[in-house]
Amino acid sequence: MVVRYNGVVMGTDAEKWDSRYGDATQAPPARVLTENAHLLPAGGAALDLACGLGANALWLAQRGLETDAWDSSSVAIDRVRARAEALGVCVHAEVRDVVKCPPPPHCFDVIVVVRFLDRSLTPHLIEALRPGGVLYYQTFTRTYVSDTGPSNPEYRLRDNELVSMFSALHLLVYREEGRFGQLDCGFRDQAMLVAARF
């Protein structure tokens, strides 16, 4: 499948990400995590799904969570392992197609999904949370103010879509600012949700 990202035509999805990750610098942990860190459980098992270079996984592991990090890019996973070793933290990083092999039921106390959207995973993410488990989700919206993120609208959220996708969970935090107010500040181009399973 031919893939476009930020307007650039790439090869297959895995090739695209492998080539991007060769020399990419690691992004900071996502705001959905850093701004809602107080909602994390004190311990337990965490998953960073479609982790890329693993900034979120490393951040979780540094807070004492037993952390898995899954991505289909072997280049990304090699770099997550190297970074974890350099930082002296334990991250179980695995090359895994999360659509073909979604997380099994009742395995995680925290699941983080950032800048990744495959709607077929929604029931698996809900089921994969243990009772009391918390989902942190942040990704691109179809309403935006700058040109970051995927050009294919299928990979961007409709207005308030995360709320309906995860309506089976208890909503703790939702933020989506669209094009309201002063566009050069705030949290733009993406939506964030934190929700818990009872």
Give the binding site for ligand SAM (CB under 6 A).
13, 17, 27, 50-52, 55, 71-73, 76, 97-99, 114-116
Closest CA to 175 of 187, 159, 189, 158: 187
Between 131 and 189, CB nearer to ligand SAM:
189
29/48 Cα distance (integer angstroms):
11
116/78 Cα distance (integer angstroms):
20
Minimum CB separation of residue 53 from ligand SAM in Å reads 6
Minimum CB separation of residue 80 from ligand SAM in Å reads 10
Q: What is the CA radius of gyration of the chain?
A: 16
Overall size of the chain counted in residues: 198
Minimum CB separation of residue 27 from ligand SAM in Å reads 5
Between 25 and 182, CB nearer to ligand SAM:
25
Between 166 and 198, CB nearer to ligand SAM:
166
187/184 Cα distance (integer angstroms):
9
Tell me which amino acid residue 23 is: D
Minimum CB separation of residue 55 from ligand SAM in Å reads 6
Minimum CB separation of residue 5 from ligand SAM in Å reads 8
Between 31 and 130, CB nearer to ligand SAM:
31
Minimum CB separation of residue 50 from ligand SAM in Å reads 3
Return contacts of 163-168, CB within 8 angstroms, 24+ apart.
163/193, 165/119, 165/122, 166/122, 166/125, 166/126, 166/135, 166/137, 166/193, 166/195, 168/126
Residue nearest to ligand SAM (CB): 52
44/61 Cα distance (integer angstroms):
10
Between 79 and 197, CB nearer to ligand SAM:
79
Between 28 and 105, CB nearer to ligand SAM:
28
- What is the maximum span of the chain, computed from C-alpha positions, in angstroms? 44
